[in-house]
Amino acid sequence: MIPKWLPATLTALVAAIGSPSHADQPTYSEGQVWEYRTRSQDTGSLLKIQRISNLGPEVVYHVSVIGLGMRRRDIPGVLQHAPVSRATLDESVTKLSSRNFPTTDFEEGFAEWQRAGGGVFTIPVAKIIVLLDEQTNSMTAVP
């Protein structure tokens, strides 16, 4: 006969062992440059946390990404601004980088996001880049 307390104890033990502790989670701050899980054509691409803000109760991480291999050669390989969730960063970043991150036009994209009352991406950064690449590839080139 199994004691009544055993299943609950085992469940709690498995949950404690299987869950990362809060201490294991990275601390994000403005100015950090990260390597992240990229698409194959973006190897060496970097992500920078430009600003951290709040949207209601949610913390928003405003990032820029450089080193993108876009399908259209007339599209720069830079994502100036993307508002992302903590879960997006947790799923995407791999390690802090000491590599140089050039200045981007982040402020322009951030201001437009504010004017539009924009939302927050909750998908991995690589998937955001896929969407950007698909959208820009379908656009007509500007002469």
The enclosing domain of 74 has a CATH number of 3.90.70
Evaluate whether residue 68 is within a structural domain.
Answer: yes
Cα–Cα distance between 24 and 41 in angstroms, integer?
A: 30
**pLDDT profile of the chain (143 residues), mean per 10:** 40 37 74 97 97 94 97 91 97 96 93 95 97 88 58
pTM for the predicted model, two decimal places: 0.79
What DSSP letter does each residue of 8-29 carry, written as one string? HHHHHHHHHHHSPPGGGSPPP-
Evaluate whether residue 83 is within a structural domain.
Answer: yes
Cα–Cα distance between 67 and 140 in angstroms, integer?
A: 23
Cα–Cα distance between 53 and 61 in angstroms, integer?
A: 7
Q: What H or E segment, with its residue span, contains residue 136? A: helix 125-137
Interval 87-115: pLDDT, tens: 999 999 999 999 999 988 999 999 999 99
Evaluate whether residue 6 is within a structural domain.
Answer: no
Structure-token match 């404690």, residue found: 16
Evaluate whether residue 94 is within a structural domain.
Answer: yes
The reported pLDDT for the residue numbered 26 is 80
The reported pLDDT for the residue numbered 137 is 87
